[in-house]
Structure formats: C-alpha cells, structure tokens
Chains A and B, each alone.
Chain A
Amino acid sequence: MQNKFILGITWVVLLLSLAACSDDVDDPEIENEEELITSLYLTLTDQSGGAYAFTFYDLDGDGGDAPVMTTAPLPANSTFTASIELLNEAEDPAEVITEEIEEEDDEHQFFYIVSGANLTVSYDDEDDNGNPIGIKTNMTSGDVSTGTLQVILRHEPAKDAAGVSDGQIANAGGESDIEVSFPIVIQ
C-alpha cells in the first residue's frame, strides 16, 4: 500500500520535472548610467580673450566607437586662465558632471601633469577646507616645446597628504574617474 503511494509520488515528480516550465526570462532594465562621464572640455583663455580647446569624448561609453580627442597649439610665453567641464552627453540634455564635483569638492581633485612641454599649472580654486579642486586653474607657457598634459580626476584623494595640495599626485590615492593625456605643442 505504502509502496504504491510512494511510486505514485515518484511518477508525479517525474512528470513535473519533464514539464519544467519554460516561459521567457525577463529582460533586464536598461540602466540610466548617471555617473557616466562621456566628455571632457578643457578650455584655456589667454589674456587677449583667445580660446584654446582640448576635448576628449566617447559618447557611447567604453567599447564601441573609439573616443575622439581634439587639441590646439598654444602660443609661447603666455598666461592663460583654464577651466574644465565634464559632461554626460549620453543623456539628453547633457548632464553636467562638474556640478556634482562642485557639490562634493572636498572629495575630488584634478591633477595636471605636464611632461616635456614648457607649461606650468597652478590651482585657482579651493574647497571649504582651503584645498584645491582644480576645476579652475592658471597656466603659463614658456618657450617653444612639445610634450603632454595629463589630466587626472581623483575621487576621495588624501588631500592633506604631502604635496597633494601642490598638485603632486604621488601620495593622493583615490580612484581615477578621469585620466586623459593630451599632446601639447607650444609654438
């Protein structure tokens, strides 16, 4: 009697397992990548109002189409005011990421690392603790030369570590949200 009952259960279980449901898997929701940074615009303005634009954008994010970079030659022995803007242009209208950085200015710092070219960069802004942010800078070009300008944005750097407030990245730590290297031509 009990054996028959158990065999009955077995058949039910077997039938159930053969009739395993096969409805479709749910589609993933398309995520709104609010944190995505697609574009960097670094604009240098000389004293006579001439503008020099350095841009880097990758509108479809990582992968897909290759990113696009534009640069401009800089005049020798000049001083510039510079400002940087980060955008998420995958959104329409584009989202201004720089605003988010201004809101959390104590957690962010831009670093400008020059190699080869005769160009010096100094910070022209500060957060509530008196440490630099690097959205606004002053730049000075020297004699004719070529090289690179690397722009790095660090999230949660140690701003109080040695040299960091002077723009030296070595002790900063943190995560790089931006790292772009522009070729520089001073003529």
Chain B
Amino acid sequence: MRLLLVFISLLSTVNIRAQCELTITGWVTDHHNDESLEYANVLIRESGQGSTSDSTGYFEIGGICPGEYHVTVSHIGCTPEEVLIRISKDTSITVYLEHHSEMIHEVIVEGKSSLNSHTEEKKEISEVQIRQNTGLSLAELSATISGVSSLKNGSGLAKPVIHGLYGNRVVVLNQGMQQAGQQWGNDHAPEIDPNSVNQISVIKGASALRYGSSAIGGVLSVSSAAIPLEPHLHGHARYAYQSNGRGHLINTSIYQGKEKWKWRLNATYNLRGDVSAPDYYLTNTGKDEKSILLQLEHTLSAKTTVDGVFSYYDVNQGILRGSHIGNLTDLNDAIIRDVPFYTADSFSYSINAPRQKVNHTLSKINLLHFFNDNQYLRINYGNQINNRAEYDVRRGNRSDRPVLNLKMIANNLDLSYHHESDLHKWTIGLQNAHRDNTNNPGTGIIPLIPNYRMIQTSPYLIWEREVADVEIEAGIRSDIRRLQVARIDPVDNDNILRSVDHYYNYAASLGAKYHPSHAYDILLSMNLAKRAPEVNELYSFGLHQGVAGIEEGNENLNSEQSIKALITQHIDIKDKVWIELSSYYQHIRDYIYLNPQSEPRLTIRGAFPVFKYEQTNARIYGLDGSIAASISDRWSAHMGYAMVRGTDLTNDTYLVFMPQDNVNLSIKSYVSNDIIKNGSIAITPSYHWRQNRLTTEQDFLVPPDGYFLIDMSVNTDLSIGKSNWNASLTISNLMNTSYRNYLNRLRYYADDEGRNVRLVLQYNF
C-alpha cells in the first residue's frame, strides 16, 4: 500500500537570491490526526544537509544551491517519505507522514482505489514487508496475513490457503490475469518471484465477480505498481543471505518515469542449498531460482495510456530425497523413522531427482482510455506460457527424463467499461480465457492429467454506490466454459478417449460497508458462486507419488455451489488501539474432494490405497482477529489469532487439510538516531495448536502435536553520508525447536526447518 500521503505546497517568495543561499522550510504532520511531529529527520539526499523538526513540527534548512533535490523525511514509527523538489527560490513544504503505518497496515483494510472494490476484505503486504522477508516464497509471504496459511511440500514449495481453501479454489492473479499454471497439484507452488513485484494482496471475502468463479476460497493478487513520475534513474540493489540452506539472493530494480515513457526493470537470482531441521539436513531441498521483469508505461495522450509487462520466471527445486517412496509399506517405514532415509551427513547445493523444473513467461499489454472524467475503457491482453517438468528417481538412468512434462499456453482478453456518476459507478466487462494444456511426449509414463483445451467467456456487471457513510456493491457474472479433453484410456492404453464438456455457471455478490466514523467500520459481504470441476478432478488417473495413493478422477462431477458470508469490523480506539475482527461462514454444495476407498488396489508394487474424486456438502466457518496497540512512542504490540473449522455434512466427518488454530503476539520497540532511522526490534512468539479435528481413517498418520515458536526481527534504515540503506535481520525459529506442521506434506518424513537467520541489505539510489 502506498497511499498518496505527501502533499507539497510550494509557497513562492518574490526575490530570487544568489547561489547557495536558498532555504527550505516546512512542517511535518501526522497524516491521521494532523498533529505536529517533533524530532522528524529531514535530509537532502544530494547534499547531505539536514535538520530536525521542532515541537511545532517546523524545520528549516539553509544554504542550499538552486537545483533538484530528493528530500527524505523520517520519524520514529513512521514510513519515511521522499519528495522531489526543484528549488530556484526559498521554498516551503508540508509533509504528511503515516504514523505507526505498520500497525495501521496490519489492522486497517485497504484504502480506496478506483479499480478495486471498496466492499471486499483485502489485505496487502507492503513493499517493506516484501523486502524484510526476502527469501520467502510467495505463499509463505502471504501466510504472514492472519487467516492465510500455506500448504507446503517442504521448503519453498508452498501454495496459499485462504480461509481453509486452496488449489483450484484459490485464484492467483499475476499482473491482473489468472496465473496459468498447474494449480491442481498440492505440491505445485505459484510460479512467481515475490521480489519482482511490489504489490501483493490477499482478498478473503472473494467477490468472485472480477476474478472468476473459481475464487470461492479467495484471491492472491500479485502485480507491479504504477511507476512514479521521477525523471531520474532510481532503484535499489539488494542482497539477502539465509543461514539455513546457505542461501544467497540478489535482486535489483531500476526505474525511471518521464512524462511520456516510464519503465522499470527488476531481476532476481536466488540460490539455496539443502535446508536443515534442527537435528539433520533435509537432503535435496535446494533451489535455484531466477526471474526478470520489465514494466513499461506510455502516455499516448491526456486520455489514453498503454502499459505492458513482460516477465520470465525459472526454478529448479529439489524435493526431500527421503520423501520419494514406492508404496504404502515404504511410507510406513518412513513414518516410523526419526531421521529420513537418504539423509546426508553434509550440506550440499546439488539438486537431484526428485525435483521440479518450472518456467513461466508472462506478457501483457493493457490499454486505458478515458472518454471523459466519468467514463473509461480498459482492454487487457495477456499471454502466458508455463512449462513444468517433474523428475523422479527412476531405474535405468531415466532420472533425467521427466515423469510429468506439461506445457500450458494461456491467452486472456479482458474488456471493461466503467461509468461513474456522483452516486453510482457501473462496470460492465467481458473476460475471455483460452487455455491449452499439452503433455510433452517421452516421459514413459501414462500422463496423470490429459491434454485439454479450455475456453471460457465471462460477462459481468458491477454496480457501486456510495451514500454518506454507506458503500454498497452488487454484481452478477456468468461463466460459460467449454472443456475439450483427449486422454489415454486408463483401461485400454492403446485407445484415446475424447470428450467435450460444457459448463454454464453464474456468480452473484452483494457487499456493504458502513463507516459511521473514523473510529468504526463494518463490512458485510455475501457471495454466491458456482465453480466448474477442473480437469484433474474430472480425469486424473494414476499413482500420486509422495502420498503413495492412486488418484482417480470422476467425469460425472457437477459444479460446486458455494455461498459465503463474511463480516469484518474495524475499531480504532483513540488512535492508540486498533482492532480487526473478521468472521465468515461458507456452505459448499457438491464440494469436490478425494475420498479414500475402502478396497486398496493390488499391484505388483504392493497394495495402494485408492482415492476417488467425489462430492459432498461441506461447511466452513472461522474467525480471524487482530489487535494492535501503540503503547508509547517507543513501544507497540500486536496480536493475531485465526481459527477455521471444516465439516463434511453428508458423511458427518471433518474436512481434511484445514489449517490448525494459531495465535501470535509481537512486541516491538522503535529506535531512531542520526544514523539509525526508523529502527525497530520485534520479538514474535507464536503457538500453533494440534489439528484435532481429523479421524484416524482420514490420514496415514495422526496430526503432529502443537508447537511454540519464537521469531525475532531487527529492521532499520541507515543514512551513511549521502547514501540510503535498509538493513534487516530476521531470525525464525529462534529456539531451534523441532516440530512438524500439519499443513506440510513432508511431515510424514521429517521435522520442519530449524533456526534460520536471514540478513537483508538494500542500497537505494
């Protein structure tokens, strides 16, 4: 989030003085209550001249030569602001700082933006948080938000879980388009580098209208923010080290924003070796990751702008060697061991089978045209190419031949027209998606997922109205989908089966936000959506390594029908305490899930349990809450809690893979002096309860015990001479506790990661 907080008023004086005798004066003010901020540091980056604000918030810097300067204003507990000013005469500026921005960020819902709905529950991860958590994967980063978890397959392979739902039910939006990857796999992470972007948000009360009806769980959106108007070349260079896995990451971003053309280039290289549990190495869990992103914006006229993004992401990711098993006996052998099979005595950067090699290319072009102040049109075209190759340990030197080799090409064409009047705002849109999935031949294995082509057309209409302190949004959407499939007959492997399915689904939503005062608001939303079954649910057939189970699709599945109600309240007590409370209830008719069958299948490799996709009625409800308090200028505290309950109503049992309840508390102290700007130190203990809501028939192993972890972080901005740096040191699992997480699929084999010290150093220019 980057609200436009800086308001500059240039007060001119009549006489232009001689060289280097100019003065900048100004006031520093709290954005929220307009109070003066004393002891704010004001620094002219180019000359190193600086000053501190007095008790009225006033500051003065004299002896300045005419020219263009970047002025940085920082204050304890505030997000620093930088303004560019051109000085040819004595100048006065007013700078509004967002005080305790982190706390507000943690508890206050996203501000308004003309392109996003006001009435949805949306949480952002700031650029600062992305920087401080450099090294985490996208899903791990999103799991820092209360109510979001990650379903992991070891280190770095994680997918987001929003309000208990994941996979096909969570839409990952990459630069505004649905990420076209193999989202069905529980061990498939979104193919996105979080360091390449600067806007990451999670929308929990998913208004399915803008994102498609698959978003019945929620939306994780990743995009590049608009490039600021800044004629000079700016950017950062970042280096991050992590002790666990001896990871090195470099990232750089440069941008320039002129009137007509703006551009930003971002590149990341990340290399990490085997991570370790407290007592042993997790052999073959290294990762080699690269990404590059180019963003362009062009102003064609006062009314028309065009922008484009090109990005390329590539990862080679190892999977714990000891988790590669042949059958159920092997799984049981692995479960009873303390230390996994194949655990090496020494650290290594090498990545061998089993591993995944994935790359993703995204190109998009977006046109925005204003007919007048109240009407505009948006046309967006995007193309994505996703290649996924998975390698297993195989006989006869075949380990370099992938067992799964998929190529997906997706095209999206979206059109929307927006009309605003004083009271109403209308959006009418049409989204077209075309997706083509092909198995590259030569794997020597019958594909788990068939070749398919999916075409979907989705018209939608959204109406918004703001009256006094009530905002209302309502909308409808229709998804017309054609799914064409060609697959190898699972019974007669020489035969090809072809089929075409059509799905006509709809979604509707109604949301309202009432904000009678600065101190309180309440948001209510109701969403109705039908999700068409995905191709893996319909047609997957084969052995799923890792869980030693045979998965069988069911071509007779119907669309799921979900209704979700969400209430979120925000309370601000005298700008000292902020409370957010969110509760939700969701009912899903014909919920698609993998049901373990009573008869195992006998094969020459032993007996395997069989899981079939079936449908039931499900209910999910839960609660996320957080409370933040500003204890003094130097201390703050934050507490978060989340719980979710899932019930299979038809069979009167639990839903599997529901996140365990968790609570965390963070105590933070702020430090600031001449060199350390905006420094803070935080200690965050957290407790994750055992997942007790599971019967013994639902899993091979009882869920692991609850665990208590302590994390610590130290963050600061540094001004050394004229240069501007950020540094952070984060220690996760400070006590080096051995634990296993229910949502980490490697819990059958190994403990979770031990202590990890991460150092991030960034130079800004």
A interface residues, tally (CB under 8 Å): 59
User: Which residues of chain B are within 8 angstroms of A155 by Cβ–Cβ distance?
Assistant: 326, 393, 395
| Nearest CB in chain B to that of A65: its residue | B491
Q: Contact check, B601 vs A63: say whether CB atoms are below 8 A apart.
A: yes
CA distance A31 to B441 in the complex (A): 7
Cα A156 to Cα B399 with chains together (Å): 12
A10 to B395, CA, bound (A): 55
| A25-B452, A31-B443 as given contacts; A176 in contact with B330, CB under 8 Å | yes
Q: Does A82 contact B (CB under 8 A)?
A: no
The CA-CA distance from A185 to B579 in the complex, in Å, is 73
Smallest beta-carbon distance B406→chain A, Å: 11
Give CA–CA (A103, B550) in the complex, Å: 30
Closest chain B CB from A29 CB (angstroms): 4
A window 143-159: CB within 8 A of B: 152, 154-156, 158
- Contact yes or no, A13 B413, CB < 8 A: yes
Judge if B496 is at the interface, Cβ distance under 8 Å: yes
B85 is an interface residue with CB less than 8 A from chain A: no
Residue of B nearest to A32 (CB): B444
B154 within 8 A of A: no
Contacts of A53 in B (CB 8 A): none
Apart from A152-B329, A175-B330: 5 A-B pairs, beta carbons within 8 A: A10-B379, A27-B486, A29-B439, A31-B447, A173-B322
Pair A175/B455 contact, Cβ less than 8 Å: no
**Is B419 located at the chain interface by the 8 A CB criterion?**
no
Q: Which of B434, B436, B603 contacts A67 (CB 8 A)?
A: B603
Give A18 to B455 CA distance when docked, in angstroms: 11
A29 to B322, CA, bound (A): 32
| Given known A-B contacts A174-B341, A178-B605, A63 and B455 have beta carbons under 8 A apart | no
A17 in contact with B444 (CB, 8 Å): no
Q: Tell me if A92 counts as interface (CB < 8 A to partner B).
A: no
A-B CB contacts (within 8 Å), total count: 175
Q: Considering the complex, which residues of chain B in the window 332-348 have a beta carbon less than 8 Å from any beta carbon of chain A?
A: 333-334, 341-342
Interface residues of A in 1-38 (CB under 8 A from B): 2-3, 6, 9-10, 13-14, 16-18, 20-22, 24-35, 37-38
In the assembly, what is the distance between CA of A97 and CA of B18, in Å?
Answer: 92
- Answer whether residue A58 sits at the interface, using C-beta atoms and an 8 A cutoff: yes
* B interface list, Cβ under 8 A from A: 301, 303-304, 322, 324-327, 329-330, 333-334, 341-342, 367, 369, 371, 377, 379, 393-396, 398, 413, 415, 430, 432, 434, 436, 438-439, 441-447, 450-453, 455, 457, 482, 484-488, 490-494, 496, 498, 541-543, 550, 601-608
Question: Which residues of chain B are near A152, meaning CB under 8 Å?
Answer: 329
- Does A91 make an interface contact (CB < 8 A)? no
Partner of A179, one of B329, B451, B452, B491: B329
Are A22 and B543 neighbours in the complex by a CB distance under 8 Å? Answer: no
Q: Is the CB of A14 within 8 A of B430?
A: yes
8 A-B pairs with least C-beta separation: A173-B341, A179-B606, A175-B326, A176-B326, A29-B441, A17-B432, A25-B453, A6-B369
Q: Show 20 A/B contacts (Cβ-Cβ < 8 Å), sorted by A.
A: A9-B379, A18-B457, A25-B436, A25-B451, A25-B485, A26-B451, A28-B439, A35-B444, A56-B604, A60-B493, A61-B493, A62-B543, A66-B602, A101-B395, A104-B395, A107-B395, A174-B330, A176-B325, A177-B605, A179-B607
Within 8 Å by CB of B395, from A16, A21, A35, A179, lies A35
Given known contacts A9-B379, A64-B491, A67-B603, is B486 in contact with A25 (CB within 8 Å)?
A: yes
With known contacts A62-B550, A176-B330, A10–B377 Cβ distance under 8 A: yes
A162 interface hit (Cβ, 8 Å): no
Q: Are B487 and A31 in contact (CB under 8 A)?
A: no
Q: What 1/0 flags go to A83-104 for Cβ under 8 Å of B? A: 0000000000000000011011
Chain A residues in 8 Å Cβ range of B301: 2
In the assembled complex, which residues on chain A have CB atoms less than 8 Å from the CB atom of B324?
A: 175
Contact string against B for A residues 33-69, beta-carbon threshold 8 Å, 1 for contact and 0 otherwise: 1110111100000000000000011101111101100
Are A28 and B432 touching (Cβ within 8 A)?
A: no
Q: Tell me the complex Cα distance, A34–B607, Å.
A: 21
Which chain B residues lie closer than 8 Å to A67 at the CB level? 602-604
| A124 to B: closest C-beta gap in Å | 23
- Cβ–Cβ contact A20 & B438, under 8 A: no
Contact partner, B490, options A17, A26, A63, Cβ 8 Å:
A63
Separation in Å of the A95 CB from the closest CB of chain B? 11
Q: Given the complex, which residues of A lie within 8 Å of B393, measured CB to CB?
A: 155-156, 175
Partner of B484, one of A2, A24, A62, A100: A24
Contact B326 A177 (CB under 8 A): yes
